[in-house]
Amino acid sequence: MEIQVKEILKIDTAQLWVNQGVLFFKFDYTNQFGKLDIGTVKKFETAVISLTQGVPMPFLIDTRNTRGSFTSRAAKLFAHSSYFKKVRICEAFVVNSINTELLINSYKRIYEPVTPFLIFDDIENAIDYCVEAKKRYDADN
């Protein structure tokens, strides 16, 4: 895959960038007792506004080797941000632990059951899903 990344934004222990019409979130959070808070999600929102420039795209959220969880306020903002709703076509989560997979399934069931999503253990499959979702979205709009 050819890399076409123009800008990588670093926020706390995460990196965000756009490649192939997909918004990538790469988390590198290893504190098992830590929680993603609302302040960090607000920073993510600002970064997403900058990176997407209003163009709808899939979100690929790479949580491999990430530990911890999120506050309910942070989860609600991530789920219900009017800006995220406007630009989020679908979500692909990449995991390598059952704990993270359970956390994501709970988040989606409780806070954000509307946006289509899949969970992958392979980043290439997640990228393929996102690229195809973007193609379908662009063809329909």
What's the confidence (pLDDT) of residue 141? 86
What's the confidence (pLDDT) of residue 3? 45
What's the confidence (pLDDT) of residue 55? 95
End-to-end CA distance of the chain: 26
Give the separation between CA 124 and CA 30, rounded to whole angstroms: 23
Give the separation between CA 117 and CA 129, rounded to whole angstroms: 10
Contacts of 74 (CB under 8 A, 6+ apart): 35, 36, 37, 38, 40, 41
pLDDT string in tens for the chain (141-residue length): 444 567 899 998 889 999 999 999 998 876 665 677 899 899 999 999 999 999 999 999 999 988 777 888 999 998 999 999 999 999 999 999 998 899 899 999 999 999 999 999 999 999 999 999 999 999 998
* Cα separation values, 52 from 6, 58, 104, 128, Å: 12, 10, 23, 19
What's the confidence (pLDDT) of residue 33? 59
CA dihedral 71, 66, 132, 7 (to 10 degrees): 90
Nearest to 74 by CA among 48, 96, 50, 45: 45
DSSP assignment string, 24-85: EEEE----TT-EE-HHHHHHHHHHHHHHHTT--EEEEEE-TT---EE-HHHHHHHHH-HHHH
